[in-house]
Structure 1
């Protein structure tokens, strides 16, 4: 007696093959997109060298900038911008460490903070000598840092946006908020930014860096679509460090 083969109808096979092709194409497109990212400049790489004032250590998950001397009581966890190499923020973060702050920049999967919004949690557990943690982030990194801060408000004493805005409602946040952006920034959506200000506490602090743009918070070259800065990268970062340290000092005094 002839046995019938258990075969799927041809239309099902065609659908499955079509889905497999779509998945392969989508995966390839994503990896192409994720690997087309902004890389740290030579100046940023040079800033990753330890010296007499700052000790820099690197793991697979983060880069730590620790001021030499006594263990700092205050620290900043930094989330990099979307598709920007974490190392690109070394000059800015090194300067903050020189102001006696422990600074840790998270290394995000595929250079996108959306894939590890809770990266700060592991950092806090590892650097348990720090008493007061500030969350900070640039662009997409700031959005995701705000998401963590909102969920873990009892572990965060302040939130810092660089050319960014909150993901959710922070109007009742128990911590102060600082927002900094450049006047020549043409990457940041001003419409989204303005709408998001209604999600911040009434007493949040906003600082506009005259002549600054979007990309000069880091050192990774000109970002596509960005405006032309009329101040140097060094000047923009110096003003940013001054604004952040003043914000932290003012928060300490309250």
Structure 2
């Protein structure tokens, strides 16, 4: 092995160790955002594996040919997204909510590969909430495959190095919430230049950042003026309408 390759591997290992150390430190100080009892009950409808929660349509519903692979937000338990995921699955679209080490998607950026391999669908929408959406955007940018047909962003945006503006075969839905005080609005607006021109931008009035899952109040977030149940329903309805387009 050459010296140059060895140095690169050591640098990569160093970055991973820094991310792991930072994740552990954050969790020790602030803790993990845990799914509410309502979300936990909704998760009972899913098949749980070591890698994801799989929400599948009921037999009498009929399964669509498109599945959603979803990256959770930073330090959010994956089953916190069970409520809207269950509703989307009941409309015929399977949803795989990924499990990541330390609930931190950045250290499991290719986890979608496992769900795609185990799914019977032929087309996939890669999605994510907050930091999970950043990871989802990166995954889509690095995997320009014909079967990846959509990107779902919940209170999120791509980084500049994951430029998707020229992906004419990529449908994108970007959902935000009017009371969100966590999303960096200036960065969000700037990132529109890195998404396809026909990206759909929609805002859930009265919702907040934490309301894209169901895990209770989030640090620095705004106060929602609608209930979490209402925001979960709004997410599911908008996602299904977009998928049915």
Aligned length: 221
* 1:60 has 2:54 as partner: no
Q: Structure 2 length normalisation: TM-score?
A: 0.86
* 1:31 has 2:14 as partner: no
* 1:152 has 2:147 as partner: no
3-state SS of paired residue (1:47): helix
CA contact (8 A) 2:179 2:224 kept: yes
* 1:133 has 2:156 as partner: no
3-state SS of paired residue (1:194): helix
* 1:212 has 2:204 as partner: no
Give the equivalent residue in structure 1 for 2:219. Answer: 224
CA contact (8 A) 2:23 2:102 kept: no
**CA positional deviation for 1:34:** 3.5
RMSD (Å) for aligned C-alpha atoms: 1.9
The match for 1:83 among 75, 88, 96 is: 75
CA contact (8 A) 1:153 1:175 kept: no
3-state SS of paired residue (1:188): coil
Quick check: which has more Rg, 1 or 2?
Answer: 1
Give the equivalent residue in structure 1 for 2:195. Answer: 200
User: Judging changes above 3 Å, is the alpha-carbon distance between structure 1 residues 244 and 231 closer, same or farther for their aligned structure 2 residues?
Assistant: same
Q: Quick one: distance in 2 between partners of 1:162 and 1:33?
A: 22
Q: Quick one: distance in 2 between partners of 1:71 and 1:230?
A: 35
Please give the per-residue CA displacement for 1:57-86, whole angstroms capped at 9, x wherever unaligned.
Answer: 111111101112144422100110011000
Q: Quick one: distance in 2 between partners of 1:179 and 1:30?
A: 27
Q: Quick one: distance in 2 between partners of 1:166 and 1:99?
A: 28
Q: Structure 1 length normalisation: TM-score?
A: 0.83
Q: Quick one: distance in 1 between partners of 2:148 and 2:85?
A: 19
Q: Quick one: distance in 2 between partners of 1:141 and 1:126?
A: 21
**CA positional deviation for 1:27:** 7.3
Please give the per-residue CA displacement for 1:101-155, whole angstroms capped at 9, x wherever unaligned.
Answer: 111000011111100111111111111x201111111000001001111111213
3-state SS of paired residue (1:63): strand
Q: Where in structure 1 are there 5+ consecutive unaligned residues?
A: 1-25, 51-55
